[in-house]
Amino acid sequence: MRLLIMGPPGAGKGTQSKRIGDHYGIPAISTGDALRAEVSAATPLGLEVKPILDSGGYVSDDTLNQIVAHRLEQPDTGAGFLLDGYPRTLAQVSALEQLLTKQGRTLDAVLALEADVEELVDRLSRRAQIEGRSDDTEDAIRIRQKKYAAETEPLLEGYAERGLLVRVNGLGSVEEVSDRIFDALAAVPRRPEPGPVAS
């Protein structure tokens, strides 16, 4: 299965991604986790992106495209992958498409987790307290919701036009949402692999 999971911050993408990854035996790849790991390790990239993560902005497309291109070259993605938090901009959608075409792969489905914004702000504030995430101030939470609505949500339309979009209600218990996701994905036709493009 080659999947994307999209949805507003706090909709439960991270939790559901891990469950989907386990279910299909594919790596769940979170660009947010990758960036947070760079920040924790205080790498040059981590130091550069920390203020962006803290403020709720988006890290540059070039940086994200490089991270994902490198990750999707790893052999553990051979049976498939689930990308969580990428693509978030039109430039990233195009870069991912080019990369997959080069690799002779296509997406099977794009999952959109849907949830009410008020519920999300509440969830994120609670998570910030529990996990002590420095990037989860109230201002940053609001900026992220706005950025998602303005820049990322419109990308779903393109995937809907390609017949890839699977919308799932993200409200309810973790198990309820997972069951909805697995039911919805079971109905998705697997696309044949076009095979790698000769370079």
What are the residues binding ligand AMP (CB under 6 A)?
9, 31-32, 35, 52-53, 56-59, 64, 85-86, 88, 92, 144
Task: Tell me which residue has tokens 């409200």.
Answer: 171
Identify the active-site residue in 19, 127, 142, 180: 127
Identify the active-site residue in 2, 36, 50, 88: 88
Residues present in the chain in total: 199
Query: Closest CB to ligand AMP belongs to which residue?
Result: 32
Question: Closest distance between ligand AMP and the C-beta of residue 65, in Å?
Answer: 9
**Is-catalytic flag, 191?**
no
Q: Which is nearer to ligand AMP, 9 or 12 (CB)?
A: 9
**Is-catalytic flag, 133?**
yes
Q: Which is nearer to ligand AMP, 122 or 183 (CB)?
A: 122
Q: What type of residue sits at position 19? A: R
Sheet with 81-84: list strands edge to edge: 28-30, 81-84, 2-6, 109-114, 165-169
**Is-catalytic flag, 36?**
no
Identify the active-site residue in 13, 36, 50, 147: 13
Identify the active-site residue in 133, 142, 167, 180: 133
Q: Which is nearer to ligand AMP, 32 or 158 (CB)?
A: 32
Question: Closest distance between ligand AMP and the C-beta of residue 8, in Å?
Answer: 9
**Is-catalytic flag, 144?**
yes
- Closest to 91 (Cα-Cα) out of 32, 151, 144: 151
Q: Which is nearer to ligand AMP, 14 or 80 (CB)?
A: 14
Question: Closest distance between ligand AMP and the C-beta of residue 71, in Å?
Answer: 12
**Catalytic positions, written as ranges:** 13, 88, 127, 133, 144
